[in-house]
Amino acid sequence: MKAVGVIVEYNPFHNGHKFHLDQTKKQSGAEVVIAVMSGNFLQRGEPALVSKWARTEMALNGGADIVFELPYFFATQNADIFATGAVSLLAAVNCHSLCFGSEAGDIHTFRETLDFLNEKNDEFQEKIKEFSSQGVSYPKALSLSFEALSPGKHLLDLSKPNNILGLQYVAAIQQQKFAIQPLTITRKNANYHDQHFASSSIASATSIRKALFSVNGSIEGIHSYLPQTTYDLLHNYKKEYRQFHTWEDYWDLLKYKLLLSSPEELRGIHEVEEGLENRLQHAALKANSFQDFMEQIKTKRYTWTRLQRVSLHILMNVKKAEMTPKKQPEYLRLLGMSAKGREYLRKEKKNLHLPLISKLSSNKQLLELDLRAARLYALGLKSKNEQERLLSLDFKQHPIQL
């Protein structure tokens, strides 16, 4: 059986994701779609709207056949580490190809851009240092450095987020010499950071979440942008846990942690650098909400995403030593599968390149960071009973089967 991989967050799964999965099957000719999905906390350093278990159900109902969790170590880091971890998992389960959405929509452009950057690497790195020293963020420095090399119109626009991430996927495949064929599909109607609806049926996850949390927001208001199964799962999640997760649910915990930690302790946390601990503690004293806190600490040098990740690592108490670079994950955490996915795993079980984990009983030490994330995620709920019920899923929930 031929398998194609997708790297996703599904926050939440919407009609654009359904389009991507349908086109992925057509372009790749694969019989099985394997999704590597971030867990309860995402690459932008924010909590997922609903748990990884609910999002796994969305994925399986939407057309994925197997869902593996991308470990916290890779899921909450910058684009190149995120891509390395996710692509490594797809290689470990013998995916024939990887299909991602992009603004470019042409895989040859990605290859040509990567060749160009490899050829100009020394000059490119010098430009990045030059722009970074001027106080701009790393993503902005990367985009400006690329423009400064005069790449020409036939190469990628690296100011676009999905182009940047896609380039990291192609680079990870090339660097690690994986036998994976990269494919790309043009994003339909909505851009990644779109804040408002641009179509009657396709919208970005960002605009869907913004509408959901607006003053008059409701699940009914986003119905037309979601498959019915996603709509039902969101409705059921809200009924069971009485809320969706946002950073504001964790603000009191973060403020407590910031104000009771010493500057030395904060400096030991992953991604806290250059005296940032002082800025964080000063803002925590004055801020009345997470939004207020972020607006106070945001600078040209530190992006919103970077600062959210820093805040998350502080809450998780993730030390620098725990995040020393790894070439690939150490395990495959299975979250769910369809009947076709189950058949694929049965046939490929002896050929997997990493241990397959479907139960926690003997693997708690290996999954320590992910379990810490599960505990933190549950703490965002208001009631102790709801917290315990959600957390218990990580210990009792078998892989979801469709």
Q: Is pLDDT at 192 greater than 70 in this prediction?
A: no
Is 11 annotated in some ligand binding site?
yes
Q: pLDDT at residue 323 above 80? A: yes
pLDDT tens, 108-162? 999 999 999 999 999 999 998 888 888 778 888 888 898 888 777 788 988 888 9
**Amino acid 140: pLDDT:** 84
On whether 162 is known to bind a ligand per the annotation, the reply is yes
Q: Has 101 been labeled as part of a binding site?
A: yes
- Is the bond preceding 139 in cis, omega lying within 30 degrees of 0? no
383-400 pLDDT tens trace:
999 999 999 999 888 999
Q: Which residue has the tokens 């904060």?
A: 266
Q: What is the pLDDT of residues 212-237, one digit of tens each?
A: 988 777 899 999 999 999 999 999 99
Q: Given a cut of 80, is residue 99 above it in pLDDT?
A: yes
pLDDT of residue 196: 47
Measure CA 98 to chain center. 16
pLDDT higher than threshold 60 for residue 245: yes
Q: Is the predicted pLDDT of residue 177 greater than 70, yes or no? A: yes
Q: Are 185 and 172 in contact (CB under 8 A)?
A: no
> What are the residues whose beta carbons fall under 8 Å from the beta carbon of 354, sequence distance 6 or more?
89, 92, 328, 329, 330, 331, 332
pLDDT at 257: 97
- Per the annotation, does 131 bind a ligand? no
Range list for CATH 3.40.50 in the chain: 3-103+184-238+328-401
d(CA 89, CA 260): 38
* CATH for the 3-103+184-238+328-401 domain, from 3.30.1360, 1.25.40, 3.30.1490, 3.40.50: 3.40.50
Share of the chain above pLDDT 90, in %: 76
**Predicted confidence (pLDDT) per residue in 4-22, tens digit:** 999 999 999 999 999 999 9
Q: Tell me: is residue 32 an annotated ligand-binding position.
A: no
Unique residue bearing structure tokens 């050929």:
351
More confident residue, 140 or 71: 71
Residue 16 marked in a binding site: yes
45 is in an annotated binding site: no
Mean pLDDT of the chain: 92
Exposed, middle or buried: residue 214 (CB in 10 Å: 0-12, 13-18, 19+)?
A: exposed
Type of residue found at 269: I
Distances (CA, A) of 273 to 66, 268, 287, 302, 309: 38, 9, 21, 11, 13
Residue of 263 and 147 predicted with greater confidence = 263
In terms of DSSP bridges, do strands 66-70 and 332-337 run parallel, antiparallel, or are they unpaired?
antiparallel
14 has binding-site annotation: yes
Give me the residue label for tokens 């986003």: 222
Is 333 annotated for ligand binding?
Answer: no
- Residue 121, annotated ligand binder? no
Give alpha helix (H) positions in 242-383: 251-260, 263-267, 276-286, 290-297, 304-316, 339-348, 368-379
Contact 39, 373 (CB under 8 A): yes
Residue with the bigger pLDDT between 203 and 57: it is 57
